[in-house]
Homo-oligomer: A and B are copies of this chain.
């Protein structure tokens, strides 16, 4: 079973993670010109968005980081919880924006983060957790317990 390296831990994103989260996300895609103020405002929005899960109020956005022994952010990812009518007014978790710093590959941080977010979503009551990925990452997500179930399609202007 995979475990975090000594001194590493997982926690929610905080406003002070600005520089390191932005840097880490660049491994995944285009981040663009995100100022500290915009980052902090987004984290505040995420923290204030809730969703009712049974009788509990939980957070709709669950952005996390893995930090190393020195407290540096080395991976990030989130799970957004959506409320539906289908499946008995079911909840669905959407795992999004998974990125691991280039110099941290091989430590199973991606796997540990996915397992953490998946468990968080199921414990909140989600009947399923889904994610979209490139064909080349299917093998990795299968190791995380996911299986191929459909096609992702997009519309861009």
Chain A residues with CB under 8 Å of chain B are: 21-22, 25, 28-34, 38-39, 41-42, 45-46, 49, 51-52, 60-61, 80, 82-90, 94, 96-97, 118, 122, 127-135, 138, 141-142, 144-157
Residues A85 and B128 in contact in the complex (CB < 8 Å), given A45-B51, A94-B94, A146-B155:
no
CB of B133 within 8 A of CB of A151, answer yes
How many copies of this kind of chain does the complex include? Answer: 2
19 A–B contacts from the bound complex (CB under 8 Å): A22-B85, A28-B86, A29-B86, A29-B87, A31-B85, A32-B86, A34-B85, A38-B89, A39-B89, A130-B155, A131-B153, A132-B151, A132-B152, A133-B151, A134-B150, A144-B155, A148-B151, A148-B152, A151-B152
- Give the shortest distance, in Å, between A153 (CB) and chain B (any CB): 4
CB of A87 within 8 A of CB of B31, answer yes
- Mostly, the A contact residues are mixed
CB of A122 within 8 A of CB of B89, answer no
Sample of 5 further A-B pairs with CB below 8 A, known A45-B52, A132-B132: A28-B86, A41-B52, A61-B83, A132-B152, A147-B153
Which residues on B sit within 8 Å (CB–CB) of A135? Answer: 150-151
Contact residue among B25, B83, B89, B157 (Cβ-Cβ distance under 8 Å from A34): B89
User: How many angstroms between the C-alpha atoms of A86 and B82 in the bound complex?
Assistant: 20
